Amino acid sequence: MPTTSITLDVNGSPHRLDVDNRTSLLDALRERLDLTGSKKGCDHGQCGACTVLVDGRRTNSCLVLAVSAEGSDITTVEGLADGDTLHPVQQAFLDRDAYQCGYCTPGQICSTVGMIEEARAGMPSHVTTDLTDGEIELDDEEVRERLSGNLCRCGAYMNIVPAVHDAACAHDATTAAATGTGTGTGTSTGEATTTPAAAATTTAATAGTAATAGTAATAATAATAGTAATAATAATAATAGTAGRAATAATATDGATR
Ligand code: FES
Ligand code: FES
């Protein structure tokens, strides 16, 4: 079979590969680069478990040929965290207990990262009613519609939706802090949306679930999210985490489950 030498830029690093021209991006990531966070659920573009970001846009990697991804910036779930500090979307999924087995979770997280950027850029969805308003308000209906391509066989949707709202609020707070504009209160308006203060409580109360992510990381994330939680509070809460629960949390957010 014909092969091609390609270079894939994944999570900021170039990877030189000789691939069968039929190789999907998902298989290249998992089987050749050992980045097994992206999951193979259906291999037909129907479940979203394989979602990665290609040039910032969420993409079903099972439907993309590896050879066609050359020259693009590819981000997998393994590339979202900043060192020991989880990405706000990863942290929100932990805090909200937005997973059960965790198999769909890397795809849900990558899809959420891309989806929040799409909404902020004013890209409408099927349920968007006002197409003239620029930035899209992420209410529950918008979140459910925009993530409808990511299926969860465990039915964790009830906690995924508030996790997305938390992440959207954290995103707004970070953007406001970076630009020096606005109050960072966000435009995520779902019923389960937490205020920054409530998020602080949640973060501190559930920090134990992220114990394996590192006490320092948990404390740093609480601070990054613009919450009122102190590093000391989060660190204290983190020490209360059980080993079993912490293992589950780590698996879900770094995609270690193969
Ligand atoms: S494995 Fe790609 S969409 Fe299901
Ligand atoms: S958490 Fe099990 S499939 Fe979604």
- The per-residue pLDDT for 181 is 60
CATH number, domain of 32, equals 3.10.20.30
Instruction: Let me know whether 107 and 228 are in one domain.
Output: yes
State which of 60, 79, 98 marks the end of a domain: 79
State which of 35, 51, 79 marks the end of a domain: 79
Determine the distance separating the centroid of ligand 2 and the alpha carbon of 31, expressed in angstroms. Answer: 22
Instruction: Let me know whether 146 and 194 are in one domain.
Output: yes
What's the number of domains the chain is made of? Answer: 2
User: In which band, very low, low, confident or very high, does the pLDDT at 60 lie, cut at 50, 70 and 90?
Assistant: very high
Instruction: Let me know whether 144 and 161 are in one domain.
Output: yes
Instruction: Let me know whether 45 and 121 are in one domain.
Output: no
- The per-residue pLDDT for 178 is 73
pLDDT above 50 for 85: yes
State which of 55, 79, 103 marks the end of a domain: 79
Instruction: Let me know whether 103 and 74 are in one domain.
Output: no
| Closest ligand to residue 152's CA | 2
Ligand 2 atom at minimal distance to the Cα of residue 154 = 2
Per the structure, the complete domain to which residue 53 belongs is given by: 3-79
CA–CA distance, 131 with 186 (Å, rounded to integer): 19
Q: What is the pLDDT of residues 179-225, one digit of tens each?
A: 776 544 445 665 444 433 333 333 333 333 333 333 333 333 333 33
Instruction: Let me know whether 111 and 219 are in one domain.
Output: yes
Determine the distance separating the centroid of ligand 1 and the alpha carbon of 106, expressed in angstroms. Answer: 12
Ligand 2 atom at minimal distance to the Cα of residue 155 = 4
More confident of the two residues 152 and 131 = 152
Instruction: Let me know whether 58 and 186 are in one domain.
Output: no
Ligand 1 atom at minimal distance to the Cα of residue 60 = 2
Sequence-distant (6+) residues with CB within 8 A of 121 are 135
Instruction: Let me know whether 112 and 236 are in one domain.
Output: yes
Q: Which residue has the tokens 């706000």?
A: 88
Strand order in the sheet with 3-10: 13-20, 3-10, 73-75, 51-54, 57-60
Instruction: Let me know whether 98 and 203 are in one domain.
Output: yes
| Closest ligand to residue 52's CA | 1
- 59, two tokens: 């993409």
Beta strands in the chain (DSSP E): 3-10, 13-20, 51-54, 57-60, 73-75
Q: DSSP assignment, residue 102?
A: -
Angle value at C-alpha 37, between 34 and 39, nearest 5 degrees: 100
User: Which of 93, 94, 99, 161 maximizes ligand 2 atoms within 8 Å of its Cβ, making it the mutation to test the pocket?
Assistant: 99
Instruction: Let me know whether 13 and 140 are in one domain.
Output: no
Q: Is 29 in the pocket of ligand 1 (CB under 6 A)?
A: no
Q: Which of 6-10, 25-29, 109-113, 208-212 has the lowest mean pLDDT?
A: 208-212
| Closest ligand to residue 154's CA | 2
What pTM value is reported for the model? 0.74
Instruction: Let me know whether 107 and 154 are in one domain.
Output: yes
Q: DSSP assignment, residue 32?
A: I
Determine the distance separating the centroid of ligand 2 and the alpha carbon of 252, expressed in angstroms. Answer: 9
- 153, two tokens: 């066989």
| Amino acid at residue number 98 | A
Determine the distance separating the centroid of ligand 2 and the alpha carbon of 184, expressed in angstroms. Answer: 31
pLDDT above 70 for 148: yes
Instruction: Let me know whether 12 and 103 are in one domain.
Output: no
